Amino acid sequence: MTSSPLFFILLCVCIKICSADHQNLQDFCPTATTTKQTIFVNGFPCKDPSNITASDFKSSKMNGSGDTDNFLRSAVTIVTAADFPGLNTLGLSVARTDLEVDGMVVLHSHPRATETLFVYKGVVLAGFLDTQNQLFQTKIREGDVFVFPRGLPHFCVNVGFEVATLYSVLNSQNPGEVSISGAYLEPDKDMLHKLVNNYI
Ligand SMILES: *[C@@H]1O[C@H](CO)[C@@H](O)[C@H](O)[C@H]1NC(C)=O
Ligand SMILES: *[C@@H]1O[C@H](CO)[C@@H](O)[C@H](O)[C@H]1NC(C)=O
C-alpha cells in the first residue's frame, strides 16, 4: 500500500500541471512564428492548421549541455512556447540545467509556474524559501524529483563530485523569471556557498 500516497501526489501534480494556464479549447495550437503579429492575445496566435507538422511538437533545444563557462559554472536552457511552437496553449514549459562541480543556479522565482526538477545525473542541493522566509532544502540524487512551488524563490547547487544534469517541467507555457539575487546584489559565490553550507 506504500504506493498509494505516491500515486496521490502524482495525481495532484498532474491536476496542478494541467490546470495552471488557461484551459485549451482545441487539440493544439502551435505558435505561428513566421507571421507578423497584428493581434495581441494572451499567448501566441496559432499556426495555419493545414501547415502543422510533427516537427512543431518536437524540440532539440535541450539535446546538449548549455555553456557553463561562466562565473556561476551553470547553464539553464528553458524552452517555452515562444521557442517550441507545440507548447502553445498547453500550459507547459521544459528546461535543462547543467551544473559543473560547485556550480549553482542562484535564487530566482517563476511567478506563473510550479517547477518539478528531475535529477538525470549528479548530486544537487535544491531548496526554496516560503513566504515566512522558512528554508526547505535537501540533497537530491539521480532519479529524484524536487518541486519548487509556484512563485517561491528557489536555487540549486551541485554538491557532488561530477557534472550534474537536471530536467524540469514547469506548468506554464511562459513561466517568467524574477531574478532575486541579481536584483540588488551581484551574486557573491563565496557568500552563497557559506550560506548554503550553513544549512547542510
Ligand atoms: C504554409 O506552408 C507553405 C509551404 O511551406 C507556405 O508557402 C505558406 O506560406 C504557409 N502558410 C502559412 C499561412 O504559413
Ligand atoms: C542538437 O540539435 C541541433 C539542432 O537541431 C543539431 O544540429 C545537433 O546535431 C543536435 N545534437 C545532437 C547531439 O543530437
Cα 193 from Cα 180, distance rounded (Å) = 16
Letter for the amino acid at 110? H
Number of the ligand closest to the Cα of 55: 2
The rounded distance, in Å, linking the Cα atoms of 179 and 68 is: 18
- Grid coordinates in use for 188? 557573491
CA of 64 to the centre of ligand 2 (A): 8
Dihedral sign for Cα 9, 10, 14, 17, please. positive
In a domain, 30, yes or no: no
Q: Is residue 149 part of a domain?
A: yes
| Atom number of ligand 1 nearest to Cα 50 | 1
Q: List the one residue out of 72, 88, 77, 76 whose CA is nearest residue 24.
A: 88
Annotated binding-site residue? 193: no
Answer yes or no: is 128 within a domain. yes
Ligand 1 closest atom vs CA 35: 14
| CB 154 within 8 Å of CB 148 | yes
Ordered per-residue pLDDT tens for the chain, 200 residues:
445 565 555 555 555 554 567 778 888 999 988 877 777 777 888 999 999 999 999 999 999 999 999 999 999 999 999 999 999 999 999 999 999 999 999 999 999 999 999 999 999 999 999 999 999 999 999 999 999 999 999 999 999 999 999 999 999 999 999 988 654 445 556 666 666 665 55
In a domain, 38, yes or no: no
Q: Distance (Å, rounded) from C-alpha 91 to C-alpha 175?
A: 9
- Ligand with the closest atom to the CA of 59: 2
Number of domains in the chain: 1
Structural domain contains residue 19:
no
Quote the pLDDT of residue 5: 60
Residue 33 domain flag = no
At residue 1, the pLDDT reads 43
154 CB burial (10 A radius; 0-12, 13-18, 19+): buried
Nearest protein CA to atom 5 of ligand 2, as residue: 60
Range of the domain at 154: 49-199
Cell triple for 105: 543556479
In DSSP terms, which residues pair with 140 in a beta bridge? 124
Strand, coil or helix: 144: coil
Rounded-to-integer distance, Cα 86 and Cα 58, Å: 7
The answer to whether residues 193 and 155 touch, using CB atoms and an 8 Å cutoff, is: no
pLDDT given at position 167: 98
Question: By three-state DSSP, how is residue 172 classified?
Answer: coil
* φ, ψ for residue 136, nearest 5 deg: -120, 115
Closest CA to 99 of 126, 78, 117, 72: 72
| 65 C-beta neighbours (distance < 10 Å), count | 15
**What is the CATH number for 147?**
2.60.120.10
Task: Identify the residue whose C-alpha is closest to ligand 1 atom 10.
Answer: 51
Alpha carbon nearest to ligand 2 atom 14, residue: 63
DSSP 114: -
**151 in a structural domain:** yes
pLDDT at position 36 = 77
Ligand 2 centroid from CA 77, angstroms: 14
Does 140 fall in a domain? yes
> Which residue among 37, 48, 50, 52 has the greatest number of ligand 1 atoms within 8 angstroms of its CB, and so is best to mutate?
48
